[in-house]
Structure 1
Amino acid sequence: MTAPDADLHPDVPHAARIWNYWMGGKDNFAADRAAGDAVVQVYPEIAAMARLSRGFLIRVVRHLAAEAGIRQFLDIGTGLPTMQNTHEVAQGIAPESRIVYVDNDPMVLAHARALLVGTTAEGITRYVPADYHEPEKILAEAATALDFREPVAVMFMGVLGYEPDLATVRSITARIMAETAPGSHLVLWDGTNTTEAVVEGARRLAESGGVPYILRSPAELATCFEGLTMLEPGLTQISAWRPDSPDIEPIEAYGAVARKA
C-alpha cells in the first residue's frame, strides 16, 4: 500500500478499508484492522460474508449479461476495487457492456480511476462521484454513459445499511428504478439481523469507531422490491442464490434480483 495521504485519516476506521481487510486485501491501516478484528471476535463469519458477497456479485452479473441480455450496469456504492469487479464480469461476457460505478468516497474513487479500467474497446467504464442519497445527480451523470431507454441493472451491494431509515432506503431504490426501462433489474443484498452474533458484531463495529451499520430483517429488505418480479430463488441467503456448488455456506446476508415489467 502506498504512503497515506493526509485526507485518508489512517487513524480513523474507514468502512471501505475495513471491508477490504475482511476480503483479505492490502488497502487498509491498523485502525481498520482493529475495528475489523473487533467484529471477528464475536462474528468470525464476517470474512466469509465478504467473500460470499463477491461470489454473489459475480453470479448475478454473469446471469444478467449472459442470460438476461443486460448490457448496462449501474453499480451504486462500489467500494474499493477487488477481484472480478462488475465491469470485468460483464465485459468478459458481452464486450460492449457499459458500466457506471457510483461512490461518495474520494479514496474509493481514486482507486477506481486507477484500477477499474474497461477491459474491452467496445465497452464503457465510468465513475460518478455521488452519494446514494442523491438519486437525481446519479441519474443525470450516469445518463452520459447509459441509455435509460434500454434495460439497466441497478446494483446496491451491501451498502444500504448505512442509511438508518428503511423508508429512505425504499425511496432511493424506487426513485432510481422509476427512471429505468422495462426489462431493467434491481440487484440488492445486505447484512441481516438473523442471529445474535451478527447483531453483536454490528454493535462492536460501531463501538470501535466504524460507521454504524443497520442490520435489517429479510422481510424488511423484501419491501425494496415491491412492484418488481423476483427471479428464482427469490430473496435468499446470498450463498444460496444460484450457487455454483451444492455446498452452500449459511450466512447472515440476504439478497435478490428482481425484474421490472
Structure 2
Amino acid sequence: MRLIVLGCSGSGPGPASPASGYLVEAGDARLVLDLGNGTLGALQRHLDPWELDGVVFSHLHPDHCADFASLAVHRRFHPRPPFDPTTRPLPVHAPVEAPDRFAAAFAASAAERAVTDLTDVFTFHPLSDGAAGTVAGVTLRARTVDHPCDAYAVRLEHGGRSLVYSGDTGPCDGLVELARGADVLLCEATWPHVTESWSEPPRGVHLSGRQAGEHAEAAGVGRLLVTHVPAWFDGDQLLAEAKAAFAGPVELVAPDGAYTI
C-alpha cells in the first residue's frame, strides 16, 4: 500500500496546499480518501481520475468534499471518456446524507436540485459506526468519531497492511479502537494543545498535536502521519507535540508526499 497526499491544509486550502485529500494505492486498486477544495487538480498530477476505483468521505464539511462536484462534472461531461461512465458507476462510501448534499452542490438552482440524481455515474454506500465492507478488493471499516457532524474514521486493509485515517475528530475512544495495531495512522492535528485562548483544547471538534500523539500511542500503531494543519498554525509545533506523546516514528505530511504503508 502507498499513500499520496493530494492536500493536507486544515479547514480549507492554504497558500501551499489544497485542503484534505489522499490517494491510496493498494495492489491494483486506486482509492481517494476525501476530496477537499483543490484536490481534484492535485489528483491529476498522480492519476487520471478515470482510473479511480472508489472514493471514501470521512464527513461532508467542504474542506473534505468540495471537489466532488468537479468530479461529477468530469464523469458526466468529459468529451472523450475512456468508457461510458453509466456502465461503470464509481463507488462512493460516505455519510448517509451524501447523495442529497452532493446533488445540491452540483445543481445550478433550487429547482434543478430537486431533480438532480448523480446515481447515473456514482453508486452511494452509506457509512455507519462499525460498518465493514470492501472497495475494489480493499477492506474498509469505519467508526464514528467526535465532530460536529456525521463523521467517521476509516481503516483500509490490503495485503496484510493497514492504514487508518482519522478524518476530523476530537478525542475519541472509537479512533483508538479502530487504529489498534495499524501500520500507519494518518491523523489530524489542527491546533496546539495550549494557546492564549485555552489551557486545554475544546473537545468535540479537533485534536491537538499532543492528542494526535496520545491516540497513536494508545492504539499502538506503527507510525503516525500528522495532517490537517491550518495555514494559521505552525505545523512544526504540532509535530513536536505529537513526537513528545508518541514513542514511534512521526512525520508531518506534505502536499504530493508519498508514504509507503
Question: TM-score by structure 2 length?
Answer: 0.37
Name whichever structure is richer in strand by fraction. 2
Name whichever structure is richer in helix by fraction. 1
